[in-house]
Amino acid sequence: MVEGSILGTEVFPMPFPRPRLPHLRRTSARQVVRRPAVIGAAALAVVVASATFLPDRTTPDEQARTASGPGVQQAQAVGRTEVTPRMRGEIEAVVARGRTIPQRRTAALDKVAVRESLARDLTRCAWLGGQRYCLGVGFTTRTPAEVATSLARTQVLPGRETTGDLDPLAALVRTALLPPRARQAADRRELVRAAESVGKVWQLRQDLEGVEVPVQFRTAQQTSTTTSARGARSGDYPRRSRILRNADTRSQNRTYWCGPATIQMIAWGSSGTKVSQHTWARRLGTTTAGTAITDMVRIVNKHTDYDDEDHAGPYIALDISDYAFHQWYRLMMRHIHDYKAPVVLHPVLEKRYFPYLDDDASGHFQVGRGFDQNPDGRPLLGYYEPWDQSKFDPSEPFIPRVQWRRAYRSYRANQAHFQRNVGV
Amino acid sequence: MAHGTRLRALVLTALAVVLAGCADDPQPETPTSQEPTDPGTGQTVEPTDAPLEWRPTGHPTEQRVVMGTTWSAVVAPGGSSVTLTDGEAETVVAAGAGRQVAEVLLDDAWAVLVMQDRTEQRPSHAVTVDLATGEQRDVVTPEPANGGSWAMHDGNLYYPTWGEGRAWCLATLALKDSNGEEAWCAPPRTGWSGLTASAAGVAMMTFDDARPVACRTVALLDATSRPEPLDGPDPCTAWDVAATDDGAVWSSVPRPRRQEEAELHAVADGTTYDLGPGTTGSLLPCGDSVFFARDPQRDGDPARLMRWTPAHTLEVAYESAATGDVFIAEPACAGDVLTLTVLSERGDEQVWATVA
């Protein structure tokens, strides 16, 4: 059944969570041995570390507050969920539905009727372990009809300055243009990845929405203790927290490369090595139309260790359309402080949300990497901004890639994106 | 000094240097909003309540609306067209294929609609509409650039154009006879943005290509439309600027990593005034005054629209009903009518008022 009831009686074995370890950059031993300078630097690093002076760490006060917060429990990321035969059946049913969609040669997306027809045909959702996943869109609480309506009303088509976020209808059309066999393979891969992430979706929904996690998706920690359905609260978190190194930031090299630049900064934080945006663009399948968020999370999972159990678990595109601001902000805190993993932010880059810009642009990607609850003022969000207008014409001055802003503006910019999701 | 002591001092010094070098971020990234960031050197001005008479536009907040005294402009979702109406006549101007409505400039006599290429590759297409006759004309010479800042006042249009050698130039055009000319070009490796125009004059931000932060200067245009740097702002930190009859209002961004948080200042008859915090990009001349948005500074604060008046007073012209998670998005002015879109967790609103 493509859209069915929750699979209530099955047992989905969850991988036993490993102990959380400090995040270490991936560096090969061979590289270190070859370079005496590196050895010296490593020795110095030991000295520095022993001096307990590390950048991007919480202060002792913050650590104490975290440890003694009301009811705080060290967040436990969820590993990959095992894909059961029943899930496989659901996946194959959705893939089979795709076989009836004829391969299109072209698509006149400027015509409303064409968009509506395409959205209706191409919106396909699977019911996986009690969570709905729609191809090209992500995990959502909206019905397939609501998703299709949202896609058909995509308003970026008449024209926006495209900084690189591929609108989902264009992503679906890209799929529709594939030969049937290739399309089925792509659909299957995406759905299997989604099925592997169901445990994480349940975990986040518990944290943020207070829903009860079905027993088969509970972590070992939750199974062994009495688990409250209440999610974490802002008081459970330190005042401020941030991850990643500010030196490891770059602006996008092409107007439509916000996706590759965002992934470049995220992966740089994971491996310690800068890989070219050109390489990331190739891996992401970026075109002049941009990059799809489903490809963004796919690449984070494939090429970084932020998807490990000692970080965030598998990244997903998560629908935040039902989230109030405080829930959205808790999602940021959960990811950044507990998981020590960046968020793929997905706002619209418009002047009403980013008032320093000189004109409106398209959907966009940024790296979410810090928060400051700012008890004397309003909550702040720290992020890396890949967009640098000054690279393309002298109509805006350069500003630093490292930015902090009122989180509520980012929340509204995320909600204003018709896809209303983030990569977490 | 004994050898051992000297060695210890050297080691400690070296360690201190190493440690300092390790911190990629020597400055705290997130100072609270209460920390002094720009102590200011002028006379502090305390605001007084003087709300304008605000009325709903009758449009959803997702729509960009510019209300005028007689005419209003409503941008279609997605920026595909603009509808101009005076309540009786209605004119719809389409953006065209691959374009979006980027700017709507409106007063009692003229509307200028700027349609930007989606990819900012082709020149912008600008249409002028004589509201008295309905006549539409394209802005042809000088050819508009592919992006940038536009302003209009009293039948004169100011906009960006590419000059010789890809210089970023300011064009001026008289709307009545479409007589335009290239007025001034930014020197190599510099640019300009943030145009504002009013009866008091035309102003802009100029900047260079310095890193890690561009050096920004605010300027008023002289009689030949050349920018004359304003005397007063701290070097390189300015952003917004608007002329007044006896001086100017400008903003500075003291913390480059908090780009949206500005400190506002005014100079009038040689005296500098500190107007307090505001939102970068929100400064707007309208009627006889200059306005800027102020986000809530503390828990329980509303969003406010502040007004610097010709009498050198600072007034609160608008205060949101919602507090905390609320902000004013992109205020607009047509003649002496203001339109505000206010977004908040307790509900959005779009309102307009005449600047009395």
Model ipTM value: 0.89
Pairwise CA distance, residues A423 & A319, whole Å: 9
DSSP 3-state of A289: coil
B233 close to B38: Cβ distance less than 8 angstroms: no
Q: Cβ separation of B15 and A324 shorter than 8 Å?
A: no
State the Cα angle at A357 between A353 and A361, rounded to 5°.
Answer: 75
Which part of chain A is CATH 3.90.70.30? 239-423
Mean pLDDT of B79-95: 94
Beta-strand pair A366-372/A421-423: unpaired
Question: CA nearest A341: which of A294, A372, A309?
Answer: A309
Which residues are CB-neighbours of A156 under 8 A, at least 6 positions away?
A162, A167, A362, A363, A418, B78
Sheet with strand B238-244: strands edge to edge: B43-44, B271-279, B261-268, B247-252, B238-244
Nearest CA in chain A to B64: A352
Q: Looking at B122-226, which runs of residues are DSSP E strands? A: 125-130, 136-138, 151-153, 156-162, 168-174, 179-185, 190-198, 201-208, 216-221
Q: What is the dihedral of CA A215, A221, A222, A225, to 10 degrees?
A: 120
Pairwise CA distance, residues A10 & B126, whole Å: 62
In this prediction the pTM is 0.84
Contact B205/A at CB under 8 A: yes
Q: What is the largest CA-CA distance in chain B?
A: 94
From A155, A324, A374, residue closest to B78, measured CB to CB: A155
Pairwise CA distance, residues B327 & B296, whole Å: 8
Which pLDDT does position A76 carry in this prediction?
A: 63
Examine the pLDDT at B37 and tell me if it is beyond 60: no
Supply the DSSP string of B295-336, one letter for each residue.
---STTPEEEEEEE-TTS-EEEEEEEEEESSEEEEEEEEETT
Examine the pLDDT at B34 and tell me if it is beyond 90: no
Which residues are CB-neighbours of A421 under 8 A, at least 6 positions away?
A137, A138, A140, A293, A317, A318, A319, A320, A321, A346
Pairwise CA distance, residues A310 & A314, whole Å: 11
Which pLDDT does position A7 carry in this prediction?
A: 30
Q: Cβ separation of B29 and A382 shorter than 8 Å?
A: yes
Which pLDDT does position A121 carry in this prediction?
A: 79
Q: Cβ separation of B118 and A409 shorter than 8 Å?
A: no
Which pLDDT does position A65 carry in this prediction?
A: 31
A390 close to B215: Cβ distance less than 8 angstroms: no
A229 close to A211: Cβ distance less than 8 angstroms: yes
Which pLDDT does position A393 carry in this prediction?
A: 81
Alpha helices, DSSP H only, in chain B?
Answer: 3-22
Return averaged pLDDT per consecutive 10 residues of chain A, 424 residues in all: 32 32 38 41 40 32 32 60 94 88 60 73 91 92 87 55 66 75 90 94 90 83 52 79 97 94 98 97 92 94 94 94 94 96 96 90 92 94 95 90 97 92 96
Pairwise CA distance, residues B350 & A194, whole Å: 40
Task: Say how far residue A52 (Cα) sits from the centre of its chain.
Answer: 31
* Residue type present at position A304: T
Examine the pLDDT at B15 and tell me if it is beyond 90: no
Tokens 């720009």: give the residue: B38
Higher pLDDT, A152 or B244: B244
Dihedral sign computed on CA atoms, order A187, A190, A193, A197: negative
* Residue type present at position A365: F
Measured in angstroms, the CA of B169 and the nearest CA of chain A are apart by 10
Would you call B115 exposed, middle or buried from its count of C-beta atoms within 10 A (0-12, 13-18, 19+)?
A: buried
Pairwise CA distance, residues B328 & B184, whole Å: 33
DSSP 3-state of A280: helix
Pairwise CA distance, residues B65 & B208, whole Å: 34
Q: Cβ separation of B257 and A161 shorter than 8 Å?
A: no
Higher pLDDT, A69 or B166: B166
From A53, A159, A395, residue closest to B19, measured CB to CB: A53
Higher pLDDT, B194 or A229: B194
Q: Pick the range with the lowest mean pLDDT from A343-357, B15-29, B198-212.
A: B15-29
Nearest CA in chain B to A247: B24
Q: Cβ separation of B18 and A48 shorter than 8 Å?
A: yes
Mean pLDDT of B53-69: 96
Which residues are CB-neighbours of B215 under 8 A, at least 6 positions away?
B207, B208, B235, B236
CATH superfamily label, A239-423: Phytochelatin synthase, N-terminal domain (3.90.70.30)
Residues in chain B closer than 8 A to A359 (CB atoms): 102-103, 116, 147-148
Q: Cβ separation of A55 and B23 shorter than 8 Å?
A: yes
Other beta carbons less than 10 A from residue B124's beta carbon: 24
Percent of chain B predicted with pLDDT > 90: 81
- Helix (H) / strand (E) element for B264: namely strand B261-268
Which pLDDT does position A148 carry in this prediction?
A: 85
Q: Which two tokens stand for residue A87?
A: 């899930």
Residues in chain A closer than 8 A to B95 (CB atoms): 158-159
Rounded (10°) angle between helices A144-152 and A168-176 = 100
Residues in chain B closer than 8 A to A54 (CB atoms): 22
Nearest CA in chain A to B103: A359
Nearest CA in chain A to B257: A403
CA Rg value for chain B: 23
Query: 3-state DSSP: chain B helix, strand, coil percent, rounded to 5?
Result: 5, 50, 40
Q: Cβ separation of A242 and B29 shorter than 8 Å?
A: yes
Pairwise CA distance, residues B135 & B131, whole Å: 7
Query: What are the residue ranges spanned by the domains of chain B?
Result: 40-51+140-336+343-354
Which pLDDT does position B356 carry in this prediction?
A: 75
pLDDT band at B211 (very low <50, low <70, confident <90, very high): confident
Dihedral sign computed on CA atoms, order A26, A333, A131, A97: negative
Other beta carbons less than 10 A from residue B345's beta carbon: 16
CATH topology of domain B40-51+140-336+343-354: Neuraminidase (2.120.10)
